[in-house]
Amino acid sequence: MLAKTLEDTKKIAQMYAEENIPVLALLGEMGSGKTTFAQYYAKALGVEDDVLSPTFSLVREYDTPQGPLYHCDLYRIEDEEELAAMGFEEYFHKGAKLVIEWPQIAQAYLLDAVYLEIKVDEQGHRIFRRQG
């Protein structure tokens, strides 16, 4: 899917939110729009608070009408031991949803995740490609 505008990105996020995906893993280079997509996704799930980047906190929790949403950024996690030490597996409980930026280090936890790759083309448009 191609997003030429932020409104297009918002519509794609809404579409994914309507799918009721428990774990959405976002792939993409720095600056590709993962956090922006996650913000729109959270809003589409009913989050009323400001949705902030979890880069330095690693995880932010938001309330949705369907239960908690955890927005994770694993960019700074160096290995699976560090991931386990932060209690990552505790976020996978019934009723919770996760949207994860930089999920590569957590693949052992994400066997049932939906992966969404975000790329930027030469014109600055976002290309969203579902994997798996």
- How does pLDDT run across 69-92, given as a tens digit for each residue? 999 999 989 888 988 888 888 888
Q: Tell me, what's the pLDDT at 132?
A: 65
Domain ranges for the chain, please list them: 2-131
Q: Residue 72 corresponds to which tokens in the numbers above?
A: 């994770």
The strand pairing partners of 60, in sequence order, are 71
- How does pLDDT run across 12-51, given as a tens digit for each residue? 999 999 998 999 999 999 989 999 999 999 999 999 988 8
CATH architecture of 2-131: 3-Layer(aba) Sandwich (3.40)
Q: Residue 114 in contact with residue 127, Cβ under 8 Å?
A: no
- How does pLDDT run across 95-129, given as a tens digit for each residue? 799 999 999 999 888 988 999 999 999 999 999 99
How far apart, in whole angstroms, are the C-alpha atoms of residue 70 and residue 59? 6
Q: Residue 45 in contact with residue 66, Cβ under 8 Å?
A: yes
Is residue 54 predicted with pLDDT exceeding 90? no
